[in-house]
Structure 1
Amino acid sequence: MTDRPVVRRTGGRSSRVLDSIYTAVGELVGARAEKITFPVIAERAGVNPTTLYRRWVDVDALLEEVTVAALTRDADAAPDTGSVRGDLEEWAGLVVQDVTRPERVRFLRAMVGARTDLITRCLITEKRRDQASDVVGRAVERGEAAPSVAQILDHVIAPIYYRVVFALEVTDADARCLVDDVLAMAR
């Protein structure tokens, strides 16, 4: 198959259809369905399978999109507190609050159980990378020593997701400790 551009429509009926598709995928993953195909998703979502075939190249592309959306639905810009420490502590706390919500926890764990390869590609999404880049960029502009984007993702964000996926407690205090560790790398 050739890669086709993805057409995005927002609002109205298109938005409701997309929501029903995302919900169907989440339910199927959560139920650990043996076979997730476009016809199965379409039936559960109450849409025609051609809707899926027109929009996504294959089921993996749809699963990846749904996973990224589920992991970053409420991911706004990284906070700007005036210091790299403040930015990282507040942002890490927001990530903890976001990914420890019961529906996120269920989805993360279901995706790990169902599609380890997919969750690995999606855990550190472009949105999270952009947020870390913003934090680093602002720190550099202020003349602060800052860890790299990769260090922030590997030593702050990834451990938060890891703890949630494997049912380990994660708190704001844990996030602050992770930030302390990554800031020590910047010195």
Structure 2
Amino acid sequence: MLNMFNRLSKKCLAALLLLSAAASAYSAPKTVLVLGDSLSAEYGLARGTGWVALAEQKLKQNNIDAVVVNASVSGETTSGGRSRLPALLAKYKPDLVVIELGANDGLRGLPVAAAQTNLRAMSDAAAKADAKVMLIGMRMPPNYGRDYADKFFAMYGTLSKEIKAPLVPFMLDGVAEKPQLFQPDRLHPLAEAHPIILANIWPTLQKTIKAK
């Protein structure tokens, strides 16, 4: 009888430990890694006023337990992001990687196919690290030529379908057409524009992080 009691006790203890581990895993905050360029790196802005910081605040307001790591660098290209991502994945072990890259490739007139290859490689690296990917798209100004601008914009939609990643088609929707919302360089939005940018990104971000 005593042996039976001991066996039952051990089984109960094991079950409790499993439940405790499961609860801890469930309650652990999710990590969101934002890999972007100056549009996400708060270029020319006071710290904490860019859309990434605003997104972290909104996650908390909506009781979504998540830590946001902003690994964005001004001037970053898809090639640079591809080079930096493996170390970031190893360090932060994110649940979600938000990729906001490509604008600097476009502004430099780099081949669209090369940018797409880099974005695909970043998606593959994230998938191997068990992280979901979310893409944020960009448009080129009309002075870059209709053909290049169309191919550049279409790249995000094509890749989104290929890798089955949620996409925000154009982060500057509602901002790009308003010069008063930009810094003197006419490239970087003012702080007043970032709530609009977040409004474009938030529905997809919220849905994606909840699904992970």
TM-score, length-scaled by structure 1: 0.33
Larger helix percent? 1
Larger strand percent? 2
TM-score, length-scaled by structure 2: 0.30
Larger radius of gyration: 2
